[in-house]
Structure 1
Amino acid sequence: MEDSDQSKPPDSAQLSRQPQIGCQSPIHATGKPGRLYLLQHGRSSRRGGWKRRRSLAAPGAYRSQPSPGSGDELSDFVAELDQVEREIRRLSESRIESTEGLEARQTKLARIKMVLDGVESRSDQAREIDRVRHNERARLREEMDYDYHRWGTLEQENA
């Protein structure tokens, strides 16, 4: 009886319990889905918590503001752009057979444009925030240098 058990292919329950190796694996040794898998399937596991990303089919497909605690906006951009690329590829490979199909494609393309506009505006906002932070750090560095030199001259005068 044991020989027949070994010759049968493993069922899905047995496969899910086995540790899977490589980037094809949706589950890591920790038992949690890997980041690449999550990004490919439209989900995120950032510090802000698990969130299901909206698909392009939903109105307002992109989030206008990043969630609190998300320090990984670049991966958000990459995930959204990958999703847009998949949708464009799917639309370009599909055939239009009626006016309804043409209208549906135009609607989807409008949503894609909306996502790209959102990514562009968030990228511009991130650049502006970086510029402001850079200027503030430079100002603080100058203040610290001034205070350091000022205290140094005061100590010399008092000595």
Structure 2
Amino acid sequence: LGKLIADGEKDIAYELGLQKLPPVSVEQALNVSFSSQVRDLYDHQSWIKDQIIPSTASDDETIIKTATYEGVIRKQATFASGPVTFTSQSPIPAETRMQSDTNQVYQVLTSGEVQDGEVTVIVQAEEAGVAGNLAAGAVLTLLSPLPGTGST
């Protein structure tokens, strides 16, 4: 913006036959206003450039519309799932619920049997999408205690 204002001052002063514009004048006010509007146009052109060819700089809506236009079908969110191992002397029944430290809730899909003091079961997030993804080794806490099983 500063360069636009400075260039505008020089142009106006030249057209008026002056060496320099006075610091407070109608011409100076008009120049600042006009330069600000030009800067807004430059910003808008920059935004348009980012929308023409979808990229990571594009708005989500632009990417979705372009994909639809090109016939690319958006994948539906899926439920995260994976193995969880408990230290337990008792089997873990299906539909047992547990919670992560990010408050995401998971449910055991099929019951698991004890093998060498551990039970491994497959759990699935109750909410579809990336929110249900956890890093390997994440700790889950049982929402209801199970006899012979620790709470985490």
TM bin, normalised by shorter chain, reads under 0.3
**TM-score, normalised on structure 1?**
0.24
The structure that is strand-richer by fraction is 2
Is the helix fraction higher in 1 or 2? 1
User: Taking CA–CA contacts closer than 8 Å with sequence separation of 6 or more, which of the two structures ends up with the larger relative contact order?
Assistant: 2
Q: Which has the larger radius of gyration?
A: 2
- TM-score of the superposition, structure 2-length normalised? 0.25
